[in-house]
Amino acid sequence: METAALIVVLVIALALFFDFTNGFHDTANAMATPIATGALKPKTAVLLAAVLNLVGAFLSTEVAKTVSGGIVREDAILEKGAEVFLPLIFAGLIGAITWNMLTWLLGLPSSSSHALFGGLIGATLVGVGATGIDFGMVLSKIILPALIAPLTAGVIAFLATRIAYAVTRRYDGKPDGRSGFRWGQIFTSSLVALSHGTNDAQKTMGVITLALITIGWQTGDPGSDSYHNPEFWVIAACAFTIALGTYLGGWRIIRTLGKGLTEVKPAQGFSAESSTAATILASSALGFALSTTQVASGSVIGSGLGRRGSTVRWRTAGRIAIGWLLTLPAAGAVGAFAALLVVWLGNWGVGIDAVLALAIIIGLFLRSRRDQVTHANAMSDVAESGLAVDLPDVPGPTRRHSRMELVRALERAERKADEAEQAARRAKKLKKSGASPSEIKAARKAAEKAAQKYAEAEEAAKEWEVLSASRRARAKLAEWDLDVAEQEDAR
């Protein structure tokens, strides 16, 4: 029992460290777009994200109950006992933290949430077998939400961006991109940070609660619905840890993300954040353990496609998707290896796992110190998703603009036709009245010039008629790869 108690302490410490890494890994999900659009300064954004992550962690426990009482079958826990199952939880956390730290160092797109689930599932499969996993719960609460939520967020962000640009159409052509949305972004990015606390902090609460249930330290009636609710001290510890990680470690991810979102406009950022917050908050209430990274990325891509003239860079989008897909099996493989050491070597295996975890954490931390990131040089994993959408420097005309230009062109053609007709009549009149050859010549020349202008006006009207009817034709008029001065001139 003493060994089991010691392992529980190790599990709690490691789980809180995972919570810390989750904080600095996912800071960018909430604060990337407001930093990119200039709505918030990096230092202010990270501090705001930390405070709201802290508050959000106290608002809901549905996701925590999914982790503590849904993924692993309780009958498997009772069958194996605390002496066997606690080391497996420890091994799963090692898999999650190793993958989290590695992707944080390299700035790769990944999901802290799926790293945690992968580590736990991999360790349980090795130590208990397939009967220890509730695959129905994994499918309904983890895998399906992972597939549906980013798509849903992307569709909502696409529609919100379209609406935002439509209702502010009178600002078309202004270089600020509807800068009034920057004020709205402070609210929407705060909602994203709050929703991150309601979802991601709870996953660590669920792991600690699972360890307490395994050893029998969880208070309450095992048969009641509230038995899987985290203890208050667990909620408080996880809330403060994720907030601390958010503030201290978010600079590296934000720098990577901001570089990918330099083209994000305030209206687009506002739409992406609104979509992300709505999706995560709704999922947290239903107990879906989402990846906030994937939801935020789906929103950024959707809002980018909502802008006029955008196209998808499928190679970049595919690379991001592969990074997401690798997270669960990669963390699972590391967790399974750590669990193998426990199964083969018993308590010695736990000791080796602990030493390896400490060595990995220290090694990656020392490596990261070579390239320190602070608020002075920070800019943001979601951001790579911003690179999956290619936007023109100056988009082609809208259908409304094309129709307005068509009306103007038709009116101009009509005026030029009248001018040409009048010039031709004047030339004939001069010829009949016996005017001098020079006067007749000048009148004919004026008539020819008026007829040429009429032809040009008529041709322009035909072009605008084609543009008003064809989206593809309007898209061809977009201008790409202009420098700043050329963009201003084009506007």
Render pLDDT for 240-278 as a digit per residue (tens, 0 to 9).
998 888 877 655 555 544 444 445 677 887 888 889 888
Q: How confident is the model at residue 237 (pLDDT cuts 50, 70, 90)?
A: very high
384 pLDDT more than 60: no
Determine contact, residues 90/7, Cβ cutoff 8 Å: yes
DSSP-assigned beta bridge partners for residue 312: 389
Q: How confident is the model at residue 473 (pLDDT cuts 50, 70, 90)?
A: low
What is the chain's mean pLDDT, rounded? 76
172 pLDDT more than 80: no
Of residues 418, 31, 103, the one with CA closest to residue 261: 31
435 pLDDT more than 60: yes
Other beta carbons within 10 angstroms of residue 354's beta carbon come to 17
pLDDT higher for 451 or 34? Answer: 451
Helices (H) and strands (E) in the chain, counts: 20, 2
pLDDT in tens, 313-360: 777 777 777 777 777 888 888 888 888 888 888 778 888 888 887 887
- Average pLDDT on 185-196 reads 84
pLDDT at 257: 46
Beta strands in 360-459 (DSSP E): 389-390
Judging by DSSP bridges, how do beta strands 311-312 and 389-390 pair with one another?
Answer: antiparallel
Q: How far apart are CA 403 and CA 467, in angstroms?
A: 8
pLDDT at 323: 72
pLDDT higher for 32 or 171? Answer: 32
Q: How far apart are CA 289 and CA 293, in angstroms?
A: 12
What SS3 state is found at 462? helix
139 pLDDT more than 80: yes
What SS3 state is found at 154? helix
pLDDT at 368: 61
Of residues 26, 18, 222, 233, the one with CA closest to residue 120: 18
Please give the structure tokens belonging to residue 443.
């009148």
173: left (phi over 0), alpha (psi -120 to 50) or beta: left
Alpha helices in 133-180 (DSSP H): 135-138, 144-167
pLDDT at 392: 61
pLDDT at 259: 47
Percentage, residues of the chain above pLDDT 90: 3
Q: Report the range out of 405-409, 448-452, 485-489 with the highest average pLDDT.
A: 448-452
One-letter amino acid for residue 43 of the chain: K
pLDDT at 156: 92
On the CB side of 52, CA atoms within 13 Å amount to 21
pLDDT at 30: 65
Please give the structure tokens belonging to residue 405.
């230009």
pLDDT at 250: 55
34 pLDDT more than 60: yes
Determine contact, residues 398/475, Cβ cutoff 8 Å: no
pLDDT at 272: 85
One-letter amino acid for residue 79 of the chain: E
What is the per-residue burial (b if ≥16 Cβ within 10 Å, else e) of 266-279?
Answer: bbbbbbbbbbbbbb
pLDDT at 490: 40
Any idea which of 287-296, 391-400, 477-486 has the lowest mean pLDDT? 477-486
Give how far Cα 43 sits from Cα of 164, 373, 426, Å: 28, 12, 74
Please give the structure tokens belonging to residue 172.
């078309």
393 pLDDT more than 50: yes
∠ CA(134), CA(19), CA(8), 5° rounding?
A: 65
What SS3 state is found at 436? coil
Q: How far apart are CA 216 and CA 82, in angstroms?
A: 8
Q: How far apart are CA 130 and CA 121, in angstroms?
A: 9
What SS3 state is found at 350? helix
298 pLDDT more than 80: yes
Q: How far apart are CA 402 and CA 468, in angstroms?
A: 5
pLDDT higher for 70 or 204? Answer: 204
Of residues 230, 251, 204, 181, the one with CA closest to residue 39: 181
Q: Which residues contact 440 (CB under 8 A, 6 or more apart)?
A: 427, 430, 431
488 pLDDT more than 60: no
Residue 479, phi then psi, degrees to nearest 5 = -110, 135
Percentage, residues of the chain above pLDDT 70: 76
pLDDT at 482: 43
474 pLDDT more than 70: no
pLDDT at 44: 80
Q: Which residue has tokens 């005309």? A: 397
pLDDT in tens, 370-382: 655 444 444 345 5
Determine contact, residues 258/35, Cβ cutoff 8 Å: yes
The radius of gyration of the chain from alpha carbons, rounded to an integer in Å, stands at: 31
- Average pLDDT on 86-107 reads 77
pLDDT higher for 309 or 446? Answer: 446
Q: How confident is the model at residue 170 (pLDDT cuts 50, 70, 90)?
A: low
Q: How far apart are CA 462 and CA 406, in angstroms?
A: 8
The alpha carbon of residue 453 and the mean position of all alpha carbons in its chain are separated, in whole angstroms, by 52
- Average pLDDT on 291-318 reads 78
Containing 403, the helix (H) or strand (E) segment is: helix 399-432
Written as one string, the DSSP assignment of 221-263 is -TTSGGGGSPPHHHHHHHHHHHHHHHHHHTHHHHHHHHHHTTT
Q: How confident is the model at residue 397 (pLDDT cuts 50, 70, 90)?
A: low
Q: How far apart are CA 148 and CA 150, in angstroms?
A: 6
Global pTM reads 0.71
